[in-house]
Structure 1
């Protein structure tokens, strides 16, 4: 027999193996986690389960200190991008002239609370409109932000979700739907306490959020996770508490080729099929080429972490430029597009001020390092409850439906939104609100039937 025959047999065998893996789906046992922990260095004490009202109140002296330090710091020119240099100068002027008290007053128009869970005081917004008739169905919705994000990212969408009729929405078949919205500051972020014991990660975050919803006496609620880390935490939450969560909605999730052997085979199959993919195609499924995926740097925290932390804590410019660069990386494919062409400078400045005043960056980076580089087993969690996924055009990754189904075992819909990147709630709040409403409406209707 000729060598061509044996080569053909080998090729056919490889294709057959890949195809068999392609059509199968992984089914991992649910992740088992410790039911409790305590994230302070002190001896564990019983949590104070009281829910306290909370208002943001940053001292004038801290605002003055921020502006004084920022003014004294020099912006280093890029030497090759005059447009970016001018934009950063403009952003600096906005930060120097920023009326924090006015923005703080606006933030405090959203009802805020804190309560202690696993030794940490957890900050959260809870917003629902008091103007509803007896026929209106109020549905609890937990929204989970990511990094570098915060509850601020949802200030445009919260009024739509809590009072849809005022914004032109009419959802609900037998009765109108509106949401009771809960938006926590993730542990370690903003006005939630920072863990002082080592090892805090995405697993601890999900467990604490589950306890928060239990303390609020909310069951049969929906979850919306976004901005990368928030989507992963939401997925684990749905895996841990499937009987308490009615549905999961995730923006821009990523399921990599290392998720399972089956997933790897799908990526390999797609890579072979896309060898002749046209350059510059408008719709690109990033990472469908496995070589591209493994070239990517995973989330890394520098080995000189303490120096890195000191730069953030002591330099307003360092904090501003880090947040600005991450937002740009996750909001547009165009290197020539600056953030002020996507968001308002006030929106960017508010996020920078919040991160600076709360010294969030060092803690958040440590938590992400623990979550994505050490205890990564949580990233293999699968959601078995009804799930909807939405993707935006400028997010730097995308997974096809068959790959998503490896992680989301009851995937009911995948929607393409016309605008935005990872922080699209600030760009097109109406579209993502519409997608959440449509998913929830469908699930409630199916439950009735």
Structure 2
């Protein structure tokens, strides 16, 4: 026992020295051209144009026709969500979608906030831009970009936007919120050329914020939004004032991380592991492998042949809903697999869930959204940005039901100016949509620390 402890302490000291001696790397991105054809000679139109989402009669009639013609297939007895989306509950979702869901009403809700488009590097970038209505005299709003992931959309943030732009407490920071759609998602134009990865998206979003007049700003994200905002901070360390994420997968394993894996169960305090860390990190190895295989099939498909399965989802609204909403079940709480309805309505309303699906359906963006996996994973896991630490002040909200758990020790290996690491009381992967109040409070606390404001 004492020998293991001595070895752990000795290797830990070596790792610390190695980390201290490392020099800060620099991440760079080049301008690209993602539009159709060759890059034109004339300067790009950098105007910002208002955009309105529409519910056309043609879209609604086409949707209803396809829903009417869907072919059902029974689930196995007593299979709940273990084989994927349960067919019995899917029939309920389809019936609600066809007979009660009001797309026109939901479009009015979507248009409640101002939408815009602007062309950057050859493609139209869509974003929601919400300014505070009642800014206290003598104060300025803090600009915050919030970036979604897959299979989410900008709509994930509709519950948290008013909490940030119109905070209840006068001691809270008032934010000006910008929520873009990742290129190829929702109403942002998809790239027309190969190679558009997270670094390209980060470069475009940094350009977007500068175009909107922000010399410094904060960024926040989960899922792909975590990687894009992390890349934004790596590219523009002097522009991105602070980075807040609610998803932070482990960085490339170093000696300290390996040691914590080998010895953390036996010496949790040595690595500052909490009971939750131990519970999430040290089940039997067989369970770790099996669970990873069960929940990563979509990733293998989308990282290799996204267009094939994507074509089927682009044609079938029921297939699209099943594919997307299954993730809203399992990634919100893994125990929901044991329920026939997947627990979907325990955390979300069908109106909200189907509105997110409709954003993919009406924009026909499921194929281009899935390609983002191939563009990122197709280049391998050893990309330059994966090797570089982040030196921008960072806050992490660790939700207990997140699909991948990263203890504070591992987070600090990547994010060298970690200001806050919060073990959240409840919630899963779609934090902004599921627990907007908790996430808003954590963002407030983090930004107050960076801004050096007194907390009460």
Whether these two folds match at TM > 0.5 is: yes
Deviations 1:73-115 (A, max 9, x none): 1232211247644422221112113211111111111101100
Give the superposition deviation at 1:12. 8.3
Q: 1:310 to 1:188 in 2, by over 3 A?
A: same
Structure 1 match to 2:261 = 267
Cα distance in 2 for partners of 1:130, 1:234 equals 26
Deviations 1:121-159 (A, max 9, x none): 100011012322313331000101111111101111101
Q: Answer whether contact 1:320 1:352 (CA < 8 A) is retained.
A: yes
Verify: 1:76 aligned to 2:79, yes or no. no
Deviations 1:222-278 (A, max 9, x none): 11111x21111111111111101111111021115x34454334333326657xxxx
Give the superposition deviation at 1:47. 2.1
Q: Answer whether contact 1:144 1:234 (CA < 8 A) is retained.
A: yes
Cα distance in 2 for partners of 1:77, 1:218 equals 53
Cα distance in 1 for partners of 2:27, 2:432 equals 33
Verify: 1:314 aligned to 2:315, yes or no. yes
Verify: 1:223 aligned to 2:219, yes or no. yes
Verify: 1:61 aligned to 2:58, yes or no. yes
Structure 2 match to 1:4 = none
Give the superposition deviation at 1:427. 2.1
Of residues 101, 105, 109, the one that matches 2:104 is 101
Q: 1:341 to 1:284 in 2, by over 3 A?
A: farther
Structure 1 match to 2:197 = 201
Cα distance in 1 for partners of 2:277, 2:217 equals 34
Counterpart secondary structure, 1:300:
helix
Cα distance in 1 for partners of 2:56, 2:387 equals 43
Of residues 86, 89, 94, the one that matches 1:87 is 89
Structure 2 match to 1:252 = 247
Q: 1:359 to 1:379 in 2, by over 3 A?
A: farther
Deviations 1:372-402 (A, max 9, x none): 3425313334221111100112212211111
Give the superposition deviation at 1:366. 1.1
Cα distance in 1 for partners of 2:138, 2:61 equals 50
Q: Answer whether contact 2:310 2:370 (CA < 8 A) is retained.
A: no
Give the superposition deviation at 1:22. 5.4
Q: 1:31 to 1:326 in 2, by over 3 A?
A: farther
Deviations 1:263-294 (A, max 9, x none): 334333326657xxxxxx87655456795666
Verify: 1:429 aligned to 2:436, yes or no. yes
Q: Answer whether contact 1:285 1:397 (CA < 8 A) is retained.
A: no
Aligned residues: 425
Structure 2 match to 1:418 = 425
Deviations 1:157-192 (A, max 9, x none): 10111011xxx33335xxxx2001000001111100
Verify: 1:392 aligned to 2:399, yes or no. yes
TM-align CA RMSD: 2.7
* Structure 1 stretches lacking a partner, 5+ long: 1-7, 275-280
Structure 1 stretch 58-67 or stretch 83-92: which is displaced more? 83-92
Counterpart secondary structure, 1:30:
coil
Structure 1 stretch 193-202 or stretch 434-443: which is displaced more? 434-443
Of residues 16, 31, 35, the one that matches 2:30 is 35
Structure 1 match to 2:369 = 364
Q: 1:390 to 1:405 in 2, by over 3 A?
A: same
Q: Answer whether contact 2:74 2:88 (CA < 8 A) is retained.
A: no
Structure 1 stretch 228-237 or stretch 372-381: which is displaced more? 372-381
Give the superposition deviation at 1:13. 8.8
Counterpart secondary structure, 2:46:
coil
User: TM-score, normalised to structure 1's length?
Assistant: 0.87
Structure 2 match to 1:19 = 12
Of residues 352, 355, 366, the one that matches 2:357 is 352
User: TM-score, normalised to structure 2's length?
Assistant: 0.86
Structure 1 stretch 372-381 or stretch 119-128: which is displaced more? 372-381
Q: Answer whether contact 2:245 2:397 (CA < 8 A) is retained.
A: yes
Q: Answer whether contact 2:142 2:175 (CA < 8 A) is retained.
A: yes
Q: 1:290 to 1:211 in 2, by over 3 A?
A: farther
Deviations 1:322-357 (A, max 9, x none): 101122221102122421222111111111111111
Structure 1 stretch 351-360 or stretch 27-36: which is displaced more? 27-36
Q: Answer whether contact 2:221 2:247 (CA < 8 A) is retained.
A: no
